[in-house]
Amino acid sequence: MKLHELKNVPGAVHRKKRVGCGEGGGHGKTSGRGGKGQTARSGGSIRPGFEGGQMPLYRKLPHRGFNNYNHRVEIAVVNVGALAGLDASVTEVNAEILAAHGLIRSGEKTVKVLGDGELNRALKVSAAKFSESAKAKIEKAGGQAIVG
């Protein structure tokens, strides 16, 4: 099948609604615009949020407060079980090595190691933060957990 051979299923394409062409068409007289007033006129529309002259909700509510979005610190998370899956040639682990192996995104510097999974070989792991269980598992396997 090629793009020029594609066809719509029967009933998928409707004819264009022709308004104002007499009562027999079903859209005569007011052409589906109801009675008189602003919305019946051409170009007549009410802006979003307008409440007919009543004080709109966005002006009633106070515009105060603090948002932490611009000041947040993104922390990449890696589990101990993921460290166990690294190549046997890797003995020292840091953010660059984790990014090279696809465990975190490249460019992420702040890494926290969590304790999910098991580790059965000695690794020297450098990260910004460690959970207590992750630190215990790394040291139990004969490795080092270096905060920095």
pLDDT digits (tens, 9 = 90+) for 12-27: 999 998 999 999 989 9
The percent of residues above 70 in pLDDT, for the chain, comes to 100
Annotation: CATH topology of 75-147: Ribosomal Protein L15; Chain: K; domain 2 (3.100.10)
Domain boundaries, the chain: 19-49, 75-147
| pLDDT range class, residue 55, cuts 50, 70, 90 | very high
Q: What was the pLDDT predicted at 63?
A: 86
Query: What's the predicted TM-score (pTM) here?
Result: 0.57
By the 10 Å C-beta count (0-12 exposed, 13-18 middle, 19+ buried), 94 is classed as middle
In order of 30, 135, 146, the CA distances from 95 in angstroms are 68, 17, 12
Average pLDDT across the chain, whole number: 94
Dihedrals phi, psi of 5, to nearest 5 degrees: -95, -5
Q: What was the pLDDT predicted at 128?
A: 96
Q: What was the pLDDT predicted at 21?
A: 93
Identify which of 122, 123, 74, 60 has the alpha carbon closest to the alpha carbon of residue 94.
123
The yes-or-no verdict on residue 91 having pLDDT over 90 is yes
Q: What was the pLDDT predicted at 12?
A: 96
Dmax (CA) for the chain in angstroms is 88
